[in-house]
Amino acid sequence: MTDTATFPAPSASSDLRAQFSRVRTEVGKAVVGQDGAVTGLIIALLTGGHVLLEGVPGVAKTLLVRTLSRSLNLETKRVQFTPDLMPGDVTGSLVYDARSGEFDFRAGPVFTNILLADEINRTPPKTQSALLEAMEERQVSVDGQTRPLPVPFLVAATQNPIEYEGTYTLPEAQLDRFLLKLVLEVPERADEVEVLTRSAAGFNPRNLESAGVTAVLDAAQLAAAQRDVGKVRASPDLLGYIVDLARGTRQSPSVKLGVSPRGTTALLGATKAWAWLNGSDAITPDHVQVMVLPVWRHRIQLRPEAELEGVSPDVILRSILSQVQVPI
């Protein structure tokens, strides 16, 4: 799945797959284009992962997440990350109750199904790291007590390109917790004309109900789809292919830090979801190749000399894909 990938046609024999196709239709009532990002968010939900959405301001990153959550009938909360945001503002904190004389826990916005972490790279690393336990363990620990998060739980974090003023680089440990990094480009001319056409007709992005966006799936159906994805088969040759690709990133002279074993596991999970959405009960090399860029582009660190030459992670990954032998 590239960032501009279209949603696969659902299998006629799968009502559940057809429902996910309807999700795309519902999102399209409010968001023009960005089909690849919609697909990526669905894959993250199917695998229990998280998504990092990168793009300049104004390309509908926030609207996309809000519309998707409405079409899935899931609770969503939004946090605007700012330089003065504290970890407790995200996870929650203990608040003294003068009447009872005790401290009560006040849950933060992380206690939801989809957490929209808006402009996550505008807050210092200390607050960014507050999400690490929530993303990895699906729980929050405050004052020695662990509190589980709702199921499902997904962090959809948006960030501006790092060259924008007032941004912080995300820690490597946190980047590795994101299943996918999706890049949202400025829409094509035809899509931008459609955006203006809708705006001229009175579309209000703050009122999704007026746009006719309705829920077509619920948490129970999502859980059933997750079980189906888990049954997708992966042959030993395909598993070896994924490992060889990862080793290729570690051996590249342009890469300082290659893909970790967590990255190979993430690629396998995302590939299974992509195969299932395409009506397949087993992954193929084509499925793997489609998912490599969005799953791995944020997991490799380039050497300074490669960055000075303008080399990007996507370029490195495409080169590795062309060099590693594909299993027959």
> What's the pTM value of the predicted model, to 2 decimals?
0.88
What pLDDT is attached to residue 105?
A: 85
Residue-averaged pLDDT of the chain: 87
Q: What is the mean pLDDT of residues 52-59?
A: 85
User: Pairing state of beta strands 114-118 and 102-107?
Assistant: unpaired
- Domains, the chain, in order of start with CATH, read 1-80+112-120+148-229 (3.40.50.300), 231-328 (1.10.8.80)
Distances (CA, A) of 307 to 8, 44, 56, 106, 310: 35, 29, 21, 44, 5
Q: In the prediction, which pLDDT does 199 show?
A: 87
pLDDT (0 to 100) of residue 49: 94
pLDDT tens profile 189-225: 898 898 889 889 888 888 888 788 888 888 889 999 9
Q: How confident is the model at residue 165 (pLDDT cuts 50, 70, 90)?
A: low
Task: Give the mean model confidence (pLDDT) for residues 120-144.
Answer: 84
Task: Give CA–CA dist 93/256, Å, rounded.
Answer: 38
Report the share of the chain in percent with pLDDT over 70. Answer: 94
pLDDT at 152 over 90: yes
What confidence tier does 9 reach under pLDDT thresholds 50, 70, 90? very low
- Residue 10 pLDDT level (bands cut at 50, 70, 90): very low
Residue 236 identity? P
